Structure 1
Amino acid sequence: MAEHVRNEDRRKRQQVLADFGEFALECQDLDTVLNEACRLVADVLGTGRAKILEIQNAGRCLFVRAGVGWNPDVVGHVRLPMSEHSSETFAIAQARPVISQDIRAEKRFEVPAFMKAAGVVALANAPIFLPGRKPYGLLQVDATEARDFTDEDTEFLRTYTILLGPVIDRLHKVRDLRASEDRFRLVVEGALDYAIFITDSEDRITDWLPGAASVFGWTPGEAVGQPSSILFTPEDRKAGEDAKEIETARREGSAPDVRWHLHKDGSRVFIEGSVTTLRDEGTQVCGFLKIGQNVTERRIADEALQESEARFRQFAEAASSVVWVRNAETLRFEYVSPAFERLYGIPSEQVLAGHDLKAWAKLILADDRGRVMDALRSVRSGEPIQHEFRIRRPNDGEERWISATDFPLVDAAGRVQRIGGIYSDITEEKRTGLRLETLVNELQHRSRNLLGVITSVANQTLSQGGSMADFEIRLGALGRAHGLLSQFGSDTVELGALVRLELAAHVSAAPPKVVVAGPTVHLTARQVQNFALALHELSTNAVKYGALKRDTGRLSVTWALTRDQRDRRRLLLNWIESGVPIQHATVTRRGYGRELIENALTYALRARTEYVLGEDGVRCQIELPLT
């Protein structure tokens, strides 16, 4: 009879193992499988209670994951610390089932209080190991009365947990795979700016995911079965780029896919992606995975930026002014146009980013340097500035004036990231301005002098009984002198030109009896006015009474340069008339002309003069300092 009972128990336990195995194959939910495992074992061992405890928190606690016969506040809620003296820890450490027939007499370990409170008297702990002997937890069978668990009970539990471990491991992997697939699906379905699709070994589309439909416009029904070359532009297909891409991926495992592609509506989208070769277990190519991001807007923006930068460089490199860009924080140059070297006289490499800022600042004149740096700091705070400063070029030592326009360069948020500017060489404008200022001052000075001379000529002419005609003739001499000043375009006149002009005003052509000779000498405007009047008086007298009146007369006008005791230049001019019989030259002629030569030139020009009526004509010598 006892043998019959044992055989029946064995049959039931084998049936439980078979039923559990079949159930575990069909069910994919871990909690359902664990609860069914507890139900079956509690039923076959007749305890009515069983639970599975899962190791959690890196081995620091046990969680009651499943169970039958327990109150609702136990299963799914209770966590037990894995103390060194617990029955659970003891069983895991023993790596085999541990039986306690009566926990009241147990000396090997402690039993959790909630189990005592639930009336547990006897228990059997069977550790559960995953493949690789990794501890998962325990299967615990609880009895509310003393129970003598037999060796057959222990072996059954050990067999049961051996079967349970791989089931749990498989369901973990199914869960992880499902979670991974769910995450992948969410990513794939949510990444609508990523074109993701799969092709077969002949590069025909087999899987057309939502991102691909969003980027390229074709629905799965339209795309599946088509060659992926439908996405290539006509020019790329003509160049064989579609075939090259697949051959590269087939040969090297992957290939870049960065190019313009074709949308269903004929427009173009720029894709940055890659093609990855898919292989089967026999390493044969079974298809290709293609993933690419739609970066059309960024590509268009990049191309526009490149075009803008190219236009900027063309403008900057063609401009005669220096175009520059600085880092707003460090004030170091990041770009300078080719005109920099022409203006500053040093290579642009000496001031570009990474080089000492002082190399540029040292070129600025010390009096201007502080103002220039203050201007840059103002621009850095967002204020455009226009200013001028001076530099001294190291290659030729020349001082140059620069007109500067500095302005902030801001980002999309309005923050000053860089500052830019244009430097123009205004040295010639400055010099022209100075020349104009000097010219105006000289004109005012010359006008005052001319008015003074005219007044003096008028007074002398009228005081000596001269007529208005005489006055007008003398004004003509002054006019001729000022005409020469305008002709020379400066504030000096060449002496030879002045002498020849005055003589030409009195004789129709230069006769052979007139000699004019001397080196090139320039007289200032002040000297010209008085000297022209002296030459006029000498020429007029020569025409009326002297060498230019008679055919026998001769006239020599010569001059030379000398130096005084202090090595300063002086002009020595000799007016010599000859061939004039003394009886025809007895006129005293101490009129205005002689007064001008002997007195006015001495006063106005600090000249030394000598006027002599010789036996055959006039001899006049004029010596004056040159500036």
Structure 2
Amino acid sequence: MPDFDKMMQRQQVLADFGELALRSSDLDRILAEACRLVGEALGTGRAKILEIVHAERQLLVRAGVGWDPGIIGFLRMPMEERTSETFAIEAGEPVISRDIAAEDRFDVPRFMKEAGVVALVNVPVFLPGGRAYGLLQVDDTRPRDFGQDEIQFLRTYSTLLGPVIDRLLLARALRSTEERFRLTVEAALDYAILLSDPQDRITDWLPGAQAVFGWTAEEAVGQPVAITFTPEDRASGQDRWETETARKEGVAPNVRWHLRKDGQRVFIEGSTRALRTPDGKLLGFLKIGQDVTERRAAEDRLRESEERFRQFGEASSDLIWVRDAETLQFEYLSPAFEAIYGEAREAVLSGDTLQRWADLIHPDDRERALSMIHRVRAGERAMSAFRIIRPSDGEIRWIENTDFPLYDSTGRVQRVAGLAKDVTEARMSAARLEVLVNELQHRSRNLLGVIASVASKTLGEEGAAADFQARLRALSRAQGLLSRYGSNIAEVGALVRAELAAHTEVHPPKVAVSGPQVLLTARQVQNFSLALHELTTNAVKYGALRDGKGQLSVTWTAERIGEGERLLTLDWIESGVDLQPEKVTRRGYGRQLIEKALSYALRARTEFVLGEDGVRCRIQLPLE
């Protein structure tokens, strides 16, 4: 073909490519057509475009003609130093290999050899600004000496190709950005976004605006933005003030209650911004606002809760305190602190608040009080009592603290809090009462002793007088146990063991005593101890404790029988005794006490059986 015809053909290729680039915005189609046109123009039928993958320093076969479909869009070549592709890109000049069999400058990729490539030319493609995009590579299956006219044609072709690729890449990025923006705007349903004209009439009503205000786009477009304002704001001109402020200053705050289509109100936090052309002409307004109604309601509830807590704390005579669990510094200290501790709150809330508080505690109690704080920080609840020395008057006061942890949403101890009260007077009253009760118990025992002495001198030491004195001593022992346990309670096991110890020296295994700790009130102790006394004295005189040959088992349990009710069951079992019950003909005082007096006085149920080998007695007593 004459050179003139080749030149015209190549000019037509350039024209066809330029026309395609103007008509199409599909980058993949344009690159594929560019490869087809250049392959035909040079008569090889083979060409490809390699795109640089900068992050991995590779070349991707982005488009091509005359190649296996499995290569186009998939095959990647490493940008190694001894490849003609890398050299062409870095040098910025075409690189020709006339016959790869004789090529000693570069390594040729295996897939090209396997495809029968013999000659090739690489022409770098640059984007505007000199950024390398990749290569235009023309291949031939025969040895070929690419002429200067062909090289110039390829350079011109790649020069046209670079701006086209750049434009389409920018367009693709813009479309992607616009799509992301559209999806973001449409998904932001808690943001009301709308546009209005210079007269503040709605021109664009996006999905978020419909979700927040309730009007559809068809209903809202053309309406004044003032439809979203409350009647009182419209009456006061807030809608006009907002647009005028935005017109003059560029932006105006829009933070107020607004009106929905259904008449409900929503609180919006946002702004109105003026939109202008580069020469300053007003196009309209952009309004963006977030629906924060629920957040505002939650904040109002929190403020109300905090205010109630503050009022409660200030009105309470007990001290309320809160510490940060990490630093143990006070976050809150109620006014009662000053009345209880005799120190100004400001003095303790400054500096190291833990140390300032610890300095007020009595030295003997300080370590124990501080250990309670650390236990609560670890998640425990604790109660403690300690003494303080008030700076105001030097008086020692007793403080009772109830400490507890406060957790965050993840279950971590976030704060340590507590209640404290001054219990000095209560402790002093309790101490005085204990002295009085002990004195009363002491006098009661003395009185019982006086009665026993009078009975002895009046009635003698034998018979009924001796029994009377023994029962008085049983009552005295019960009074002694009441004093030991705090004046109004006594423990069942202590009553049983005290009565047995007073009458016998027989010990296990002949005598077995067992049962849980069960407390009886003073009213129950009097009659119960007399019943134990009668059982014990009868066992000493006639039963298991008479000569040490028998055995005695005293056991008891406490079980729940109803809502808040408990029942004591005591079993007295004697064995190994030759009792001969047929010879027992009368019921003595002790048996009458057990079977009748306990039932009448304490609502007890009793069973008293005289067996052949000893007494079996069960006492079931409701516990108070």
Q: Normalising by the residue count of structure 2, what TM-score does the alignment of the two structures yield? A: 0.65
Residues 353 and 114 of structure 1: CA distance in aligned 2, closer, same or farther (over 3 Å): farther
1:207 deviates by 2.0
Q: 1:166 aligns with which of 152, 163, 166?
A: 163
Instruction: Please give the alpha-carbon distance, in whole angstroms, between the structure 1 residues aligned to 2:105 and 2:253.
Output: 66
User: CA separation of 1:279/1:402 partners in 2, compared to 1, >3 Å: closer, same or farther?
Assistant: same
Determine the structure 1 residue equivalent to 2:96: 99
Gaps of 5+ in 2: 445-624
Give the structure 1 partner of residue 38 of structure 2: 41
Q: Distance in 2 between matches of 1:62 and 1:331?
A: 61
2:349 is equivalent to residue 352 of structure 1: yes
Q: Does the 8 A contact of 1:52 with 1:140 survive in 2?
A: yes
Trace 1:218-229 onto structure 2 (pairs within 5 A): 218-229=215-226
Q: 1:32 to 1:431 in 2, by over 3 A?
A: same
Q: Residue 10 of structure 1 aligns to a residue in which SS? A: helix
Does the residue aligned with 1:146 lie in a helix, a strand or coil? coil
Contact in 1 for aligned 2:79/2:85 (Cα 8 Å): yes
- Note closer, same or farther for the CA distance 1:92–1:438 as it changes in structure 2 (3 Å cut): closer
Q: Quick one: structure 1 residues 388 and 235, their matched pair in 2 at CA, closer, same or farther if it must change by over 3 Å?
A: farther
Which is worse superposed, 95-104 or 163-172?
Answer: 95-104
- Mapped to 2, the partners of 1:48 and 1:418 lie a distance apart of 78
Pair 1:361 & 2:346 matched: no
**Using the alignment, how far apart are the partners of 1:302 and 1:409 within structure 2?**
20
- Give the equivalent residue in structure 2 for 1:261: 258
Select which of 3, 12, 17 maps to 1:15: 12
**Aligned with 2:129 (options 117, 132, 137):** 132
Identity %: 62
| Counterpart for residue 318 of structure 2 | 321
Give the whole-Å Cα distance in 2 for the aligned partners of 1:142 and 1:44.
12
Post-superposition Cα deviations, 1:436-469, rounded to whole Å, max 9, x if no partner, equal 677889999999xxxxxxxxxxxxxxxxxxxxxx
TM alignment of 1:82-481, pairs within 5 A: 82-352=79-349, 354-432=351-429
In the other structure, the counterpart of 1:555 is none
Aligned-residue offset at 1:216: 1.8
Tell me how far 1:240 sits from its aligned partner.
Answer: 3.6
Q: Distance in 2 between matches of 1:218 and 1:333?
A: 51
- How far apart, in 2, do the equivalents of 1:402 and 1:173 lie? 75
In the TM superposition, residue 418 of structure 1 has moved relative to its aligned partner by 1.9
Structure 2 distance, partners of 1:45, 1:98, is 16
Aligned equivalent of 1:27: 24
Alignment correspondent of 1:74 = 71
Q: Deviations over 1:399-418 (max 9, x none)?
A: 22334333333334554322
Shift of 1:107: 4.7
Q: Deviations over 1:205-237 (max 9, x none)?
A: 222222221122111111222232322333333
1:434 Cα deviation from its structure 2 partner: 5.6
Q: Is the 8 A contact 1:233 1:262 kept in 2?
A: yes
- Using the TM superposition, give the Cα deviation of residue 309 of structure 1 relative to its aligned residue in structure 2, in angstroms: 0.3
The 2-side partners of 1:272 and 1:378 are apart by 45
Distance change in 2, residues 1:365/1:91 (3 Å): closer
Instruction: Give secondary structure in 2 for the equivalent of 1:53.
Output: strand
Residues 384 and 38 of structure 1, relative CA distance in 2, 3 Å threshold: same
Residues 87-132 of structure 1: per-residue CA shift (max 9 Å, x gap): 2223224423333433334454343332233222222222111111
Structure 1: which amino acid aligns with 2:198? Answer: S
Task: Give the superposition deviation at 1:435.
Answer: 6.1
Q: Give the letter for the 1:182 counterpart.
A: E
- Matched residues in 2 for 1:239 and 1:429: separation? 63
CA 1:144–1:25 in structure 2 vs 1: closer, same or farther (change >3 Å)? same
Alpha-carbon contact 1:332-1:351 (below 8 Å) kept: no
Q: Distance in 2 between matches of 1:440 and 1:433?
A: 10
- CA distance in 2: counterparts of 1:349 and 1:182, whole angstroms: 59
1:120–1:145 contact (8 Å) kept in structure 2: yes
CA separation of 1:340 and 1:226: change in aligned 2, threshold 3 A = same
* Count of matched residue positions in the alignment of Structure 1 and Structure 2: 445
Q: In the alignment, which residue of structure 1 is the partner of 2:507? A: none
- SS class of match (1:357): helix
Map of 1:452 onto structure 2 = none
Taking a change above 3 Å as real, the CA distance of residues 337 and 239 of structure 1, as seen in their structure-2 partners, is farther
In structure 2, the CA distance between the partners of 1:239 and 1:422, relative to structure 1 (3 Å rule), is farther
Partner SS, residue 201 of structure 1: coil
Q: Secondary structure at the match of 2:415?
A: strand
Q: Larger Rg: 1 or 2?
A: 1
Give the match for residue 520 of structure 2.
Answer: none
The answer as to whether partners of 2:313 and 2:334 remain within 8 angstroms in 1 is yes
Instruction: Report the equivalent of 1:596.
Output: none
CA contact (8 A) 2:403 2:419 kept: yes
Equivalent pair of 2:402/2:419 in contact (CA under 8 Å): yes
> Which residue in 1 is equivalent to 2:605?
none
SS at match of 2:14: helix
- 1-side partners of 2:117 and 2:373: how far apart? 86
1:161–1:373 CA distance, 2 compared to 1 (3 A): same
Q: Is the 8 A contact 1:104 1:121 kept in 2?
A: yes
Q: CA RMSD in A?
A: 3.0
Residue matched to 1:65 = 62
Could you tell me whether the CA contact under 8 Å between 2:50 and 2:62 is conserved in 1?
yes
**Residue pair 1:102, 1:146 contacting (<8 A) in 2 also:** yes
**CA gap 1:116/1:357 in 2 versus in 1, 3 angstroms:** same
**Which is further off, 155-164 or 255-264?**
255-264
**TM superposition score normalised by structure 1:** 0.65
